[in-house]
Amino acid sequence: MADVAQLAGVSSQTVSRVSNGFPGVTEDTRAQVMAAMRELGYRPNSAARALRRGEFRTLGVITFSLSTMGNIRTLEAIATSAAEHGYAVTLLPVAVPTQDEVNGAFSRLGELAVDAVIVIMEIHLLDAATVSLPPGVQVVVADSDAGDRYTVVDTDQAGGARDAVRHLLDLGHDTVWHLAGPEGSFAAQRRANAWRDTLRAAGRVTPPLVRGDWSAESGYRAGLRLADDPDCTAVFTANDQMALGLLRALHERGRRVPDDVSVIGFDDIPESASFLPPLTTIHQDFAEVGRLCVEGVLSKMREGGAEHGTTLVPTRLVRRASTARRRS
């Protein structure tokens, strides 16, 4: 910076003003400084900048393995949205979802070059970890369920699940089976709860819940069991991958979709339109979730907001060929 100042014949402070776009600099001097910067290939040093300003212009994102489509899309949206606000995004991967690992990630946070944090993960492990959060670091949690402890942005999972179940009931099915996600997942839990509540509200019997682990393979295994039950004419799977496995199992067992069994998924991954048959599913707007996470955390930083709440992003039913009126 000093070199630039010298070359431009001004003080370093003026260089700083130019580099930050401050007013109160003549057009002439500004041009001079710009020229000098270009000539010397000057780049502001972000470490010094951060030190001086006390902020990094960086958001940290804590996430487990990026294996689920939802997390990935959310992350992508966060990165894009953060960039629009002039913020960079730093990834803080938590290898193993154990309490220790989460605590570790949270405490490492303190010495990380990060102004605020967005957490994309099931909240279970967060409960005990809250203590070690460095003060002054705002947090927003995506895809979770702890509105009273954290600021949360999430898709309206309950609403989506309700729509899915109602869609099948409207098609004349007596009841709807549910292939749920793993027990540890809050998202799975909320979808399962909404499924149960909706059936109950409609006065239908609730079939036993079948559990998978989000993977297509687990959907396949569950499907093999469901295929043998002639009463099962409609299945709501907690994500599209499991629906894929389910479709394969039903096909292998000679149960036609949607003629014999209707299947509805959750997520609307791009591939689901090409399943056999194309999958009716609940679309989630992850881009919106990511955007809201960033804006939420930035506004919390500005206003130092301490109050928590939950923002829900609506879902949308995407009707394709895997669901049909019951024929029996």
Residue (7 or 287) nearer to a copy of itself, CB? 287
Which range of residues in 12-20, 60-68, 76-84, 229-237 is near DNA by CB under 7 A?
12-20
90's contact among DNA, a copy of itself, none, with CB below 5 to 8 A by partner kind, is a copy of itself
Among 7, 25, 287, 312, binds DNA (CB under 7 A): 25
Position 205, amino acid = V
Q: What is the DSSP string of 166-227?
A: HHHHHTT-S--EEEE--TT-HHHHHHHHHHHHHHHHTT---PPPEE--SSHHHHHHHHHHHH
| Angstrom distances, CA of residue 39 to CA of 43, 252, 257 | 11, 69, 67
208's contact among DNA, a copy of itself, none, with CB below 5 to 8 A by partner kind, is none
Nearest to residue 289, comparing CAs of 157, 142, 147, 158?
Answer: 142
Residue (147 or 278) nearer to a copy of itself, CB? 278
Among 31, 38, 39, 45, binds DNA (CB under 7 A): 45
Quote the tokens at residue 271.
């591939």
Quote the tokens at residue 219.
């959907």
Q: Give the alpha-carbon dihedral of 240, 242, 243, 247, to 10 degrees.
A: 140
Residue (55 or 174) nearer to a copy of itself, CB? 55
Residue (19 or 206) nearer to DNA, CB? 19
Among 38, 52, 85, 316, binds DNA (CB under 7 A): 52
Position 293, amino acid = C
Which range of residues in 6-14, 183-191, 231-239, 272-280 is near DNA by CB under 7 A?
6-14
CB 249 within 8 A of CB 219: yes
Residue (88 or 318) nearer to DNA, CB? 88
Which range of residues in 44-52, 116-124, 194-202, 275-283 is near DNA by CB under 7 A?
44-52
24's contact among DNA, a copy of itself, none, with CB below 5 to 8 A by partner kind, is DNA
Binding site for a copy of itself (CB under 8 A): 41, 43-48, 50-51, 56, 58, 65-67, 72-73, 75-76, 79-80, 83, 88-93, 95, 110-113, 134-135, 215-217, 219-220, 241, 244-245, 247-248, 251, 270-271, 273-276, 278
3-state secondary structure of 293: helix
Q: What is the DSSP string of 2-39?
A: HHHHHHHTS-HHHHHHHHTT-SS--HHHHHHHHHHHHH
Asked if residue 92 binds DNA (CB under 7 A), the reply is no
Residue (141 or 250) nearer to a copy of itself, CB? 250
- 57: CB partners within 8 A, 6+ apart: 50, 86, 87, 88, 115
CA dist 33 and 12 (Å) reads 10
CA dist 282 and 313 (Å) reads 13
In the complex, least distance from residue 23 CB atom to a copy of itself, rounded to whole angstroms:
21
The residues that touch DNA, with contacts defined as CB under 7 A, are 1-2, 9-14, 16-17, 19-20, 23-26, 28-29, 43-45, 48-49, 51-53
